[in-house]
Structure 1
């Protein structure tokens, strides 16, 4: 067999998918030329079959091959968390910072996939922690959105900018606040994220926290807002619609957030650009009663 022993080169047991791929390749070895050779390398990377990937590279598969999304085998292996393949590709000269057509580097792909060990490997190998996708999303933004504190710490230790802004006018602090991740928000603030920075549409992280995702625990939303205010976020700042954090919380139906903001000194008398109060925007009788006092 052309790949006899290749799939077993790793000290780890051969995965069934790798054994099946090896068998298929051995049945038609003459086809493994040119484009097919590279396509098969992508398949081996996506399945995390290090022995097969090594054999394909030895036969002539290219570390610079591109798939239809513009990614290289390294992009695919990094997203898969295929550590042995990534190490082999890097040793053979693969570009650690190659971006696919969407601008996603191996590091960003690993962060988006939640591959903490792979992120550490790539950072140790010199991956650029500041490279952004075509949408302006950096690894630290993706990490903040996913709420992985240990992964975020790796990125910050590598020098990630907590105040970087994407093309939608959002940053890591905004992503974490909108998901109501108080621990992530606290970490970013400690790393130098600006608590009262005005982002796209004149929104602040506090406003994003006030209107946090519905699947987040209400208590986490409140703790996130508390951390931001303690760090200097202005409670009555208004966005480009004239909406304050209190108005946003009221409209979103976040009763605990409304209570917290009122207790923290939010002004219920502010009006938006259409002249509406938080009371006018309130979703539900409970919140209207709070604001009518």
Structure 2
């Protein structure tokens, strides 16, 4: 009996081992049990489902149980792609913290940002951009996120991406016209895309929309200021293109009789009123609760109508570091950049009239009127162009070198007209669209909110005494020159809400 206590002790020790908790048997067993209780299996299917359901706590248990965060599904997407598709921000944040690359490539070579765009997850697009997602990468078909947003008709994503990919805005509006995405066209113009942009062959967004039978897009582009009279490299108007493409109803819509205001030479005050109204309307936007970007919209600013920038004094220039910059009397060295007042280009406008100059003979001009089809009329000096208040003041010929003549002098006809209602005057030239005013930009002093009209040739100052010259105004930018140094800078069109 003396050995009994030792045998009893061994039996008790063996029994104790048998009832130890499962977690002591194998690492990860507790997490597996927890996952099962939460409705997941430790499988790829469970992993991707947890990511889609924004269940970051379950994802954490998957990792603790030994699951690899970079697992891919049958399509080649990671859990980060799935989170982006479902708008699962907590899952995405967990995965980024696990060192998954924000621009990880998946199915069709798409990044999570591209997936969020296609899935119409606007808030996720915003979030991924703030995490450093690259908006310029392209998928296997060559589409960057902005172009995917246009193709898929995602105006909210367009609004988020526009500020990150401004170089693509004009290409984007041409694509929107091609596929007929009216809501996207509207969003693009709010953030700086120009309805005046052209393809290499001279086609405008209006021409592209007309050629592809998109009546609603045509109507919107006309409302946004697209010219019905612009011609492409083959001398075709949007009407010609729509007719050739077999869309007579669109051709009819574009070729309506000119409105009275299309035969008026507007005053700067009227131009300012029109451009101000456009920007204010775009700034107002929908109520914050309905704004697809997920951000509150700006309230309509309180200001007087814009005035010509010529001779005005704007805010002190701001350097690239964001601090005020004092320019020396001699200015920066030639060819260098220079500090600018905080100018923002909000809107651009050019207005072609339904009139074009054909030729002049003596004191008589031959002009073409886009009424009931193009028809030519002859008008003598001192007479009104038929059906208008435009008086022919002077006609003449002159020699001028141009691109068409390859730099050689050629004879051109000029006609000076005056609007008897507004008093404004213009000189129209044969072979060049007859505009009712110079190209004009609506610019804003970001420091004060004050708006100005800017046209080529104007000058303005900053409060530190620096003087600037506007050398050019284009549909997508204006070119500013520092008078002291001769250096130039471009101010891009940012749009009403850009």
Aligned-residue offset at 1:190 = 5.2
1:125 Cα deviation from its structure 2 partner? 1.1
Query: 1-side partners of 2:355 and 2:71: how far apart?
Result: 56
Q: Is the Cα–Cα contact under 8 Å of residues 69 and 98 in structure 2 kept in the other structure? A: yes
- Cα distance, 1:74 vs. partner? 0.6
Structure 2 residue aligned with 1:151, among 141, 153, 157?
157
What's 2:218 paired with? 221
Superimposed CA distance per residue, residues 76-133 of structure 1 (whole angstroms, 9 cap, x where no aligned partner): 2111211221111011111100122522110011011100111111111111111111
Instruction: Describe how 1:114-263 pairs up with structure 2 within 5 A.
Output: 114-157=120-163, 159-163=164-168, 171-182=171-182, 184-189=184-189, 191-193=191-193, 195-198=196-199, 204-212=204-212, 218-227=215-224, 229=226, 235-237=230-232, 245-250=238-243, 251-253=245-247, 255-261=249-255, 263=257
The Cα of 1:65 is off from its aligned counterpart by 2.3
Instruction: Render the CA deviation track for 1:151-197: whole Å, top value 9, x for unaligned.
Output: 3221123x2235279xxxxx311232234445533543454435332
| Distance change in 2, residues 1:55/1:244 (3 Å) | farther
- Whether contact under 8 Å (1:178, 1:208) holds in the other structure is yes
Q: Distance in 1 between matches of 2:188 and 2:197?
A: 13
Unaligned runs of 5+ in 2: 1-29, 259-353, 357-371, 376-498
Q: Is the 8 A contact 1:185 1:227 kept in 2?
A: no
Report the structure, 1 or 2, having the larger helix content: 1
Larger Rg: 2
Q: Which residue of 1 aligns with 2:105?
A: 99
CA distance in 2 between counterparts of 1:6 and 1:43 reads: 12
Residues paired across the two proteins, number: 234
Q: Which residue of 2 aligns with 1:69?
A: 75
Q: Could you say if the C-alpha distance between residues 87 and 259 of structure 1 is closer, same or farther in structure 2, counting changes exceeding 3 Å?
A: same
Q: Deviations over 1:192-249 (max 9, x none)?
A: 43533216x87542222214566xxx3443122443625xx9732157xx97532442
Q: Which has the higher strand share?
A: 2
Query: How far apart are residue 3 of structure 1 and its match?
Result: 5.5
**Which structure is higher in RCO with an 8 Å CA cutoff and minimum separation 6?**
2
Contact 2:182 2:217 in 1 (8 A): yes
Q: Which runs of 5+ in 1 are unaligned?
A: 8-18, 26-31, 166-170, 268-289
Q: Deviations over 1:30-62 (max 9, x none)?
A: xx4xxx4x4532243345444433321222222
Q: Distance in 2 between matches of 1:258 and 1:238?
A: 22
1:86 equivalenced with 2:92 (yes/no): yes
Alignment of structure 1 residues 12-23 onto 2, 5 Å: 22-23=38-39
Secondary structure, counterpart of 2:166 in structure 1: coil
> Aligned to 1:102, what secondary structure does the other structure show?
helix
Which residue number in structure 1 is paired with residue 65 of structure 2?
59
Shift of 1:23: 3.5
TM-score, normalization: structure 2?
Answer: 0.40
| Partner Cα distance (1:236, 1:208) in 2 | 12
Change (3 A) 1:72 1:259: same
Q: For the Cα contact (< 8 Å) 1:222–1:257, is it kept in 2?
A: no
CA distance in 2: counterparts of 1:101 and 1:130, whole angstroms = 18
Match of 2:460 in 1: none
Counterpart of 1:14 in structure 2 is none
Report if aligned partners of 1:210, 1:221 keep a CA contact under 8 Å in 2.
yes
Question: TM-score by structure 1 length?
Answer: 0.64
Aligned partner of 1:271 in structure 2 is: none
Matched-pair contact (CA < 8 Å) for 1:70–1:101: yes
SS in 1 for 2:168: coil
Q: Is the 8 A contact 2:153 2:181 kept in 1?
A: yes
